[in-house]
């Protein structure tokens, strides 16, 4: 989801809105180049395509925004001198650390760092190609049951197939784990999804009760 309130750059004093891009559903499976975007901030989580599990998130800030923005939610890492411990004077860090806050829970970030390192070695383009090929297979096999875009130029990394919560439980019993939203099953083939996995999934979806 994009929160685009103003994309004019540089902004006049009257245009103080910021452009924030939420990449939680795209980073890791869709190549993103911040140098080609008019974004002030990118935010995302590590729970989906980055395979990092819950509890870790990230923020990218455009260099022009570092000096212009003073976050309200701060912690000792946000301080210019974290070890000063002077509660009567707070100075924002001179770089993106000012957005960090306090000490995070370490375990989710340790897991996320490992998964991101692995995926970075493979490359997002290779992951995207693998993902899109598998979605092509799903579309070819399931046809009209696929309600998400068939056109690769406008689709994400998730293929949505008609289904219900009952299908989620039935598929899980067969070792296939999907999610459901408003009558649609969300299939998100990743790098670890094999051709055999896909064939098994297609067979189960075709055999479900009418």
Mark whether 115 and 141 lie in a shared domain.
no
Backbone angles phi, psi at 99, to 5 degrees: -90, -5
Mark whether 137 and 89 lie in a shared domain.
no
Mark whether 54 and 87 lie in a shared domain.
yes
The range of the structural domain enclosing residue 91 comes to 2-121
Tell me how far CA of residue 209 lies from CA of 30, 146, 157, in angstroms. Answer: 35, 17, 27
Backbone angles phi, psi at 96, to 5 degrees: -65, -10
Alpha carbons 41 and 57: distance in angstroms, whole number: 13
Alpha carbons 112 and 93: distance in angstroms, whole number: 25
Number of domains composing the chain: 2
SS3 160: strand
Mark whether 111 and 23 lie in a shared domain.
yes
Mark whether 53 and 117 lie in a shared domain.
yes
Which of 92, 19, 100, 103 lies closest to 62 in space, CA to CA? 19
Q: Which domain CATH number covers 141?
A: 3.90.1150.10
Residues composing the chain: 210
Alpha carbons 155 and 202: distance in angstroms, whole number: 20
Q: Which residues contact 123 (CB under 8 A, 6 or more apart)?
A: none
Alpha carbons 20 and 31: distance in angstroms, whole number: 17
Q: Please say which residue of 121, 150, 173 terminates a domain.
A: 121
Q: Please say which residue of 97, 121, 145 terminates a domain.
A: 121
Query: pLDDT tens per residue, the chain (210 residues)?
Result: 333 333 344 454 556 788 899 999 999 999 999 888 889 999 999 989 999 988 899 999 999 888 888 888 888 889 999 888 887 889 999 998 999 988 888 999 999 999 999 999 999 999 999 999 999 999 999 999 999 999 999 999 999 999 888 889 989 998 999 988 887 999 999 999 999 999 999 999 988 776
Mark whether 141 and 161 lie in a shared domain.
yes
Mark whether 107 and 141 lie in a shared domain.
no
Q: Which domain CATH number covers 64?
A: 3.40.640.10
Mark whether 35 and 60 lie in a shared domain.
yes
Mark whether 11 and 66 lie in a shared domain.
yes
Mark whether 147 and 86 lie in a shared domain.
no
Mark whether 108 and 153 lie in a shared domain.
no
Mark whether 25 and 117 lie in a shared domain.
yes
Return the half-sphere exposure (C-beta side, CA atoms, 13 A cut-off) of residue 14: 0
Please state the pTM of the whole predicted model.
Answer: 0.82
Q: Please say which residue of 63, 92, 121 terminates a domain.
A: 121
Q: Residue 67: what pLDDT?
A: 86
């Amino acid at each position: 989801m994009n929160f685009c309130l103003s994309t004019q750059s540089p902004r006049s004093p009257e245009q103080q809105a910021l452009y924030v891009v939420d990449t939680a559903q795209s980073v890791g499976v869709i190549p993103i180049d911040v140098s080609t975007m008019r974004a002030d901030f990118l935010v995302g989580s590590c729970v989906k395509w980055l395979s990092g599990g819950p509890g870790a998130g990230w923020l990218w800030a455009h260099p022009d925004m570092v000096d212009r923005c003073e976050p309200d939610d701060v912690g000792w890492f946000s301080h210019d001198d974290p070890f000063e411990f002077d509660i009567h004077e707070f100075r924002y860090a001179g770089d993106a650390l000012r957005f960090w806050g306090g000490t995070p829970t370490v375990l989710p970030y340790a897991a996320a760092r490992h998964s991101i390192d692995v995926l970075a070695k493979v490359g997002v383009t290779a992951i995207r190609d693998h993902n899109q090929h598998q979605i092509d297979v799903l579309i070819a096999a399931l046809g009209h049951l696929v309600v998400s875009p068939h056109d690769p130029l406008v689709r994400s990394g998730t293929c949505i197939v008609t289904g219900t919560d009952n299908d989620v439980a039935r598929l899980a019993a067969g070792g296939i784990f999907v999610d459901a939203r408003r009558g649609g099953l969300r299939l998100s083939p990743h790098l670890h999804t094999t051709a055999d996995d896909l064939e098994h999934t297609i067979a189960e979806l075709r055999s479900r009760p009418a």
